[in-house]
Amino acid sequence: MIRVAVADDQPLVRAGFGALVSHAADLELAGEAANGHDAVALARAQRPDVLLMDVRMPLLDGIEATRRITTDPTLTGVRVVILTTFDLDEYVYAGLAAGASGFLLKDVTPERLVDAVRTVAAGDALLAPSVTRRLIERFATGGAGAGTGGGRVDPRPLQSLTEREREVLTLVARGLSNAEIGSTIHVSHATAKTHVGRILAKLGARDRAQLVVLAYETGLVTPGA
């Protein structure tokens, strides 16, 4: 069973997502929170596999709550998915930079929600949709509202990567899945997955979402390229 928690200050939203989770055979509702402070406490108490996190909440916003969860060494198994109302919400990039594993629109279909939870629980990131790539491209270079200071990150950590690993990182940043990466560079799905795993380890990244952020911030990938 995949344990899922929901953090949102709107009771109807919490109830709706909670109902969808409860009706999926392989998902289990691990709790609900109405603000960011309680979301962090819920993560620590219940250790859900996936936490659906709203951005705008009282007491502590979803971005800071996400950062506190993803930087807590006791919560490494908790994956955070940012919930947003608009597909170009300026806070989503900040959420990814804070360690979120992706984002979902609040009008997501039930099927997409369940699939997204399974994807994140398996260790992947919700980065394939083109809208996500547009959003990251918009904010990764320090555009208005990026929330990261607008500066480039030191690219030297990328020097630890082999030429093949840099190629794979570029493909990850463009939203390709392991299977698509394997097809592109003519290796098996398992080999592509191994490359991604090594890149994660070398760069100290939590998941693919952080790899995308790093690829853009270090200049390895540029918007529109």
pLDDT single digits (tens) 94-117: 777 788 888 888 888 888 889 889
| Cα–Cα distance measured from residue 51 to residue 42, given in angstroms and rounded to the nearest whole number | 9
Please report which confidence band the pLDDT of residue 125 belongs to, taking 50, 70 and 90 as the band edges: low
Tell me the two tokens of residue 189: 């799905």
Where do the structural domains in the chain lie, given as residue ranges? Answer: 2-140, 156-217
Least-confidence region, from 8-12, 73-77, 97-101, 192-196: 97-101
pLDDT of residue 1: 92
Q: What percent of the chain has pLDDT over 70?
A: 81
The band of 214, judged by pLDDT with boundaries at 50, 70 and 90, is confident
The predicted pLDDT at position 144 comes to: 37
pLDDT for 145 equals 41
By the 8 A CB rule, do 14 and 32 touch? yes
**Residue 27: CA count within 13 A, CB half-sphere:** 27
Residue-wise pLDDT for 188-202, tens only, equals: 988 998 999 899 889
pTM as predicted: 0.71
* Cβ atoms 22, 54 nearer than 8 A: no
d(CA 97, CA 93): 6
**55: pLDDT strictly greater than 50:** yes
Tell me how far apart the alpha carbons of residues 110 and 21 are, in angstroms, rounded to a whole number: 9
Q: Given 3.40.50.2300, 3.30.420.40, 3.40.50.300, 3.40.50.10860, which CATH number is that of 2-140?
A: 3.40.50.2300
**The architecture CATH gives domain 156-217:** Orthogonal Bundle (1.10)
Q: How many CA atoms lie within 13 A of 28 on its CB side?
A: 8
Output the 3-class SS for the chain. Answer: CEEEEEECCCHHHHHHHHHHHHHCCCEEEEEEECCHHHHHHHHHHHCCCEEEEECCCCCCCHHHHHHHHHCCHHHCCCEEEEEECCCCCCHHHHHHHCCCCEEEECCCCHHHHHHHHHHHHCCCCECCCHHHHHHHHHHHCCCCCCCCCCCCCCCHHHHHCCHHHHHHHHHHHCCCCHHHHHHHHCCCHHHHHHHHHHHHHHHCCCCHHHHHHHHHHCCCCCCCC
Q: Tell me the per-residue pLDDT of 141-180, one tens digit each, with 9 for 90 and over.
A: 555 344 444 455 667 778 899 999 999 999 888 777 788 8
- C-alpha to C-alpha distance for 24 and 211, rounded to whole angstroms: 30
